Structure formats: C-alpha cells, structure tokens
C-alpha cells in the first residue's frame, strides 16, 4: 500500500482553513486508507470535497488520496480525473504526475505517460525514479535505445541504484546484448547480495546464451534466497531441458504452473513435451488445462492432443496485431517441431525448431528450448 504520511502533515497545518465536518471526513479518510478500506476512503474524501470552502491544500490531499484508493479499486479513469483535479490546483505536484503517469502507462497511453514522467524528471533531474518510470514506457514501446539512455543517465546520478542496473540489464537482454546485461546483473548482485532478483536475471542470461549449468547454479542461488520466487522454476525447467534432464524439467514446469499466481500458459506445452521426452505421457495434464483455460494457446493444446490440425492452429494464430501474431507463430512452429519429433520425423522437426528460433521474440522459452533441440544430436 502507498502510505501518504504527508497528507496528515498538511492537515495539521491547515485545520483552521476547513470546517470541522470536512476536517473530520479527511481524518477519517486517511484512517480508513491506512487500514486498507478503499471504499470507505473514497466515501470520506468525497464528503470532504463536497465542501466548497475546503482549503486548496486539503483539497489536493483529498483528491490525491481518493485517486490512489480508486486505483486500488481498479477505477483508473476516476483516479486520473482526481489526479488532474489536484494538478489543476498545484501544477507542480510531482507525486500526482508520477501517479497519473503510472495509470496512463497501465492504459497503454504512452504519449501521456511520457509527458507526465518527463515533468517529474524536469523537476527532479537527479532522482532515479523518473528515469526508471520513463524507461519502462520506452521499453513497452519497443524503443530500447531510449530506455537504456534514460537508465544510463539516471545511473550516472545514482550509481548505487540496484533497480536501475537491473532494468538496464533486462533491456540489454531484449537486445541480445548479453555481455552488457551480465555486467549490469553482476552490479545488482554486488549492491544487493541478499536479494534474489540479480541471481535470477543472471540465470536467465546464462540460459539464453546456452550455458545451462551456469544457469542452474544462479537459479538455485535465487531460490535459496527466495523459495517462493516461482519464476525461477520456469527457467530452471528450461535449463534442465537444455541438459537433457527431461524428467526434472517436467517437475520444474509443473511446479511453476501449480504455484505461480499467473503462470505463462504456454508452459503447459513445455511440461507436456518434457513428459514425452522422458518416456511418459503428459496428455492427462494437458487435457486438464484444456478444459480449465480458454483462448490462446488452446488451439496448440488441441493440435498436440490430436484433436486439432496444424491449419486450424495457424489460422487461430493470425488473429490479433502483428506483435501478437509473431508471438503466436513462435508457439505454432515450436508445437509442430514437438509433434514431428514425437512421431520420429527428426529432420522435419529440426526445420520447425529452426523456424521457431527465427520468429520468436527475445527471451521466449520456445526459442531457448528450440535452440537446445538443435544443439542435441539429431
């Protein structure tokens, strides 16, 4: 929860400017906010804002805290309206720009988010937070060079920002500049040796450069520090696959799916393949997921289970924008390679795995597993 202690300070300095009832509503709103009761916070702040004589400084507090509460209630448009109202009173209120930028970013209104984050940076050019936020928008736009430039400048002012190095390293990963990525992740581990994230990122980097054993060591370090960092099991499964440890990979993929709050659905395909490669059947689990989930990649599930065709799978993959189609076709080519190999058509499977590598976006598990298949003896 975002705790706004400065709100209470403003209140104490402006009691005389507000009527007693409005002041009471504001205090009640702050109290309910700190308790996590967002609905009550919205109610109290709305009551305070209904008083036309409310001091402008207190009105800003009410708008801001109501906006944050609305954000928690997943009402981004209402929150943006309140933050804009706060900024109309105080155009230099940086926290409101930052908060509104986050909401615009979440709505993929990138130009508006960039404008708000740029205002934060102009006001506080030495603060890392603005550069991190703006870099995140640039990265989502696919402008990795701009993201890296922002993070590099921010780090020149904040050389001890582990988060800055981590985010720049991840941008380098997406550019496949793995040596630069590793240097940044090494810096993360130096600055935050007790945090699991740096080890996880080093493990991912090793995995996508084909060093599966080194990847496993780093991923295990991450899990030792944070046993509930379930994403590590996903990448651990990829490294086990790369080493031909298919039974272990199946367990890692299954653990990731079962424990993660929002698992990557495609990993069910990886689990199915690891089962097949280890001489077992993964059909029952895949059917379970097919009945439980909907949408993409269910056509791939149908294809692997023998209830769908490659043509139907490819047709379904072409629905959506160009970026989404590229991601889906990556999964399609990988599934074709898996199916061909399970039927003994190894040379055709290698062609499909090669196609997978060429079409997959950076850091996709299908690409790593396809690369491992191509490195194995045919």
Q: Answer yes or no: is pLDDT of 146 > 80.
A: yes
Give the tens place of pLDDT for each residue, 269-285: 999 999 999 999 999 99
Provide the residue ranges of all domains of the chain, joining segments of one domain with +: 194-277, 294-378
Give the tens place of pLDDT for each residue, 283-327: 999 999 999 888 899 999 999 999 999 999 999 999 878 888 999
The answer to whether 45 touches 66, Cβ cutoff 8 Å, is yes
**How high is the pLDDT of residue 10?**
45
CA angle 109, 110, 112 (to 5 degrees): 75
The architecture in CATH of the region 194-277 reads Alpha Horseshoe (1.25)
**How high is the pLDDT of residue 19?**
58
3, burial (CB in 10 Å: exposed 0-12, middle 13-18, buried 19+): exposed
**How high is the pLDDT of residue 43?**
96
Average of per-residue pLDDT values in the chain: 92
pLDDT band of residue 8 (cuts 50, 70, 90) is very low
Q: Answer yes or no: is pLDDT of 11 > 60.
A: no
């Amino acid at each position: 929860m975002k705790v706004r202690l400065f709100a209470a300070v403003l209140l104490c300095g402006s009691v005389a400017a507000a009527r007693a009832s409005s002041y009471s509503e504001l205090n009640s709103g702050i109290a309910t906010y700190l308790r996590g009761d967002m609905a009550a916070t919205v109610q109290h702040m709305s009551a305070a804002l209904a008083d036309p004589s409310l001091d402008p400084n207190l009105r800003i507090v009410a708008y801001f805290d109501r906006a944050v509460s609305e954000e928690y209630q997943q009402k981004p448009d209402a929150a943006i309206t309140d933050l804009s109202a706060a900024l109309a009173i105080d155009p230099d209120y940086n926290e409101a720009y930052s908060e509104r930028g986050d909401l615009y970013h979440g709505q993929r209104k990138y130009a508006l988010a960039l404008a708000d984050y740029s205002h934060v940076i102009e006001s506080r050019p030495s603060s890392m937070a603005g550069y991190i936020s703006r870099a995140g928008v640039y990265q989502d736009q696919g402008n990795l060079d701009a993201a890296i430039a922002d993070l590099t400048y921010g780090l020149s002012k904040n050389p001890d920002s582990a988060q800055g190095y981590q985010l720049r390293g991840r941008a380098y990963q997406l550019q496949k500049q793995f040596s630069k990525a590793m240097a940044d992740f090494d810096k993360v581990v130096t600055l935050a040796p007790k945090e699991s994230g740096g080890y996880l990122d080093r493990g991912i980097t090793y995995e996508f450069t084909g060093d599966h054993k080194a990847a496993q060591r780093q991923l295990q370090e991450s899990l030792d520090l944070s046993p509930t960092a379930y994403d590590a099991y996903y990448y651990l499964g990829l490294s086990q696959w790369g080493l031909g440890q298919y039974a272990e990979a199946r367990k890692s993929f299954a653990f990731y799916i079962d424990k993660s709050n929002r698992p990557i659905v495609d990993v069910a395909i990886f689990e199915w393949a690891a089962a097949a490669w280890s001489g077992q059947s993964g059909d029952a689990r895949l059917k379970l997921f097919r009945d439980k989930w909907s949408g993409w990649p269910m056509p791939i599930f149908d294809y692997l289970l023998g209830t769908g065709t490659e043509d139907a799978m490819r047709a379904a993959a072409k629905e959506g924008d160009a970026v989404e189609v590229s991601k889906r076709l990556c999964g399609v080519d990988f599934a074709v390679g898996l199916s061909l190999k399970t039927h003994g058509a190894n040379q055709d499977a290698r062609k499909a795995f090669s196609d997978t590598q060429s079409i997959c976006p950076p850091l996709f598990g299908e690409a790593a597993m396809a690369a491992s298949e191509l490195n194995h003896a045919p």
